Amino acid sequence: MNKATAPTMGERLRSPLTWHFAAFGLLLAVAIGLCVRLGLDWAATDTHAADALTGKQVQLAELNLQMRPLQGLDKSVAKTREQMKQFFNERIPPNYSAIETSMTDLEVKSGVRLSRVAYSQGKPGQDLTPITMDAAISGDYPSIMHFVNSVERAKTFFVIQEMGLAGEQSGLVNLRIRLTTYLRPSDAAASGLPMTPSESQADAESSNTGTEEE
Query: What are the per-10-residue average pLDDT scores of the chain (214 residues)?
Result: 52 58 68 71 63 71 72 75 87 93 94 91 92 93 92 93 81 90 93 80 48 46
How much is the pLDDT for 7? 56
> Whole-angstrom Cα distance, residue 200 to residue 198?
5
pTM: 0.59
Burial class of residue 98 in the structure, from the number of CB atoms within 10 Å of its CB (0-12 exposed, 13-18 middle, 19+ buried): middle
In CATH terms, the superfamily for domain 93-213 is Ribosomal protein S6/Translation elongation factor EF1B (3.30.70.60)
- Give, in degrees to the nearest 5, the angle at Cα 198 between 192 and 200: 50
Task: Name the amino acid, one letter, at 141.
Answer: Y
Domain-wise residue ranges, the chain? 93-213
Query: Taking a C-beta distance cutoff of 8 angstroms, is the pair 126, 134 a contact?
Result: no
